[in-house]
């Protein structure tokens, strides 16, 4: 299975005549379901205008490393974190040399240094430049660094020469990019994921809830589906679109999420409790709207909600059970206590005191805690993080 649905592709365009193909490549990537942002080197802008790429991609084109407006938010770092794949097409001999040397003297090379996403290049140059010993040495170095090489193709060139050095055609590059996301590691498995907040009614118009956006859970559901799993997403109230090939079951309260989770988890292989479930609910729900009284305070009596992930972990047979811990202090200590108290296989902990990650953010940084290890994963997009976690969970299931 391979797909670019909802993938975030950062397309780097360098200064070669094949840059004219990059305009078509943007559209072809979008047709395959990708979201595309474009970075152009100064030389690339001599062959094709940023306005063309902006019109095709629907996003501003990034051209300068030291753009004062973008750099106020560390623009090159944000782009590096945003990308699921950095694809440079065309990649000139000069760009390959600078990438090999680890240079960061323009926006595109800086992004390549900073990103945790896979990098792929589509070489495009004169056949003599491609055969040159320096280029071939650089190629060997890039391959050793696990840079993906797409092409080049053989054929007629703009200079009149014939030989290796042509950039692959846009549809070939789309297929090559999609192949990088072929996982299949959960084929034949059933995965159940909870996501989003729950709402605990006070009266017909008010409720208790939290700030969870559901983005992490939805990203995990998308990654699980991409990995070939039958994916059930039990979602609290969100405004997020249902990922492709995912069955979503909508719930509102913790009680509804608990009942649905127990029903769906009975035959599942992996249960991921990513939802931010309310710990307490009102003892009584007022049948009519609670009116403002003469007193300055209002007393509510709350009772504990059922513990969804603990009850899943108590099933026999038990699915591989992953809990999430959103903590503002003592991250590892509290997460490890949760792991042991609830008999979980692994806890994904994130620090909610950092406003750049977690609730409502598109990024996250987490610490993974199991009975044997503590592993930190640095800040990156939730979609990129989700794919890494799903690969890890699939390995854990296989090793059981």
Question: Annotated catalytic sites, by residue?
Answer: 159
- 364 contacts 291 by C-beta, under 8 angstroms: no
How far is residue 323's CA from residue 334's CA, in Å, rounded to a whole number? Answer: 12
Closest CA to 190 of 309, 271, 310, 273: 271
Pairing of strands 200-201, 153-156: unpaired
- 213 contacts 359 by C-beta, under 8 angstroms: yes
Cis peptide preceding 219, ω within 30 of 0 = no
How far is residue 125's CA from residue 166's CA, in Å, rounded to a whole number? Answer: 7
Q: Residue 325 forms beta bridges with which residues?
A: 349
Q: Is 43 exposed, middle or buried (0-12, 13-18, 19+ CB in 10 A)?
A: middle
Q: Residue 195 forms beta bridges with which residues?
A: 235
Beta-carbon contacts of residue 300 (< 8 Å; ≥ 6 apart): 202, 282
- 320 contacts 271 by C-beta, under 8 angstroms: yes
How far is residue 99's CA from residue 132's CA, in Å, rounded to a whole number? Answer: 17
């Amino acid at each position: 299975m391979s797909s670019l649905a909802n993938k975030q592709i950062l397309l780097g365009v360098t200064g070669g005549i094949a840059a004219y193909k990059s305009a078509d490549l943007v559209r072809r990537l979008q047709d395959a379901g990708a979201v595309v942002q474009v970075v152009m080197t100064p030389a690339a802008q001599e062959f094709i205008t940023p306005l063309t790429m902006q019109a095709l991609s629907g996003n501003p084109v990034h051209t300068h490393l030291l753009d004062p407006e973008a750099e106020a938010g560390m623009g090159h770092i944000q782009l590096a974190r945003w990308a699921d794949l950095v694809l440079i097409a065309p990649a000139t001999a000069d760009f390959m040399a600078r990438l090999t040397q680890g240079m960061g003297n323009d926006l595109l090379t800086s992004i390549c240094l900073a990103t945790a996403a896979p990098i792929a290049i589509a070489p495009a140059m004169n056949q003599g430049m491609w055969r040159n010993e320096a280029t071939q040495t650089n190629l060997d170095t890039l391959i050793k660094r696990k840079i993906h090489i797409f092409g080049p193709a053989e054929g007629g060139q703009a200079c009149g020469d014939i030989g290796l050095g042509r950039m692959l055609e846009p549809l070939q590059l789309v297929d090559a990019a999609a192949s990088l996301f072929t996982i299949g590691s959960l084929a034949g498995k059933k995965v159940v994921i909870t996501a989003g907040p729950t709402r605990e009614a006070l009266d017909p118009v008010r409720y208790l809830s939290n700030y969870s956006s559901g983005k992490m859970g939805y990203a995990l559901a998308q990654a699980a589906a991409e990995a070939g799993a039958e994916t059930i997403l039990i979602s609290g109230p969100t405004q997020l679109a249902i990922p492709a090939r995912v069955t979503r079951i909508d719930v509102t309260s913790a009680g509804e999420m608990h009942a649905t989770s127990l029903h769906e988890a009975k035959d599942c292989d992996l249960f991921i409790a990513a939802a931010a479930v309310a710990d307490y609910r009102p003892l009584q729900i007022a049948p009519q709207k609670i009116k403002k009284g003469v007193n300055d305070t209002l007393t509510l009596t709350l009772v504990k909600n059922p513990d969804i992930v603990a009850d899943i972990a108590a099933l026999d047979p038990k699915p591989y059970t992953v809990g999430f811990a959103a903590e503002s202090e003592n991250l590892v200590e509290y997460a490890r206590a949760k792991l042991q108290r609830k008999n979980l296989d692994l806890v994904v902990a994130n620090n909610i005191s950092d406003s750049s990650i977690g609730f409502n953010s598109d990024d996250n940084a987490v610490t993974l805690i199991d009975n044997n290890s503590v592993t930190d994963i640095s800040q990156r997009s939730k979609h990129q993080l989700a794919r890494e976690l799903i690969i890890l969970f699939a390995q854990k299931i296989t090793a059981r």
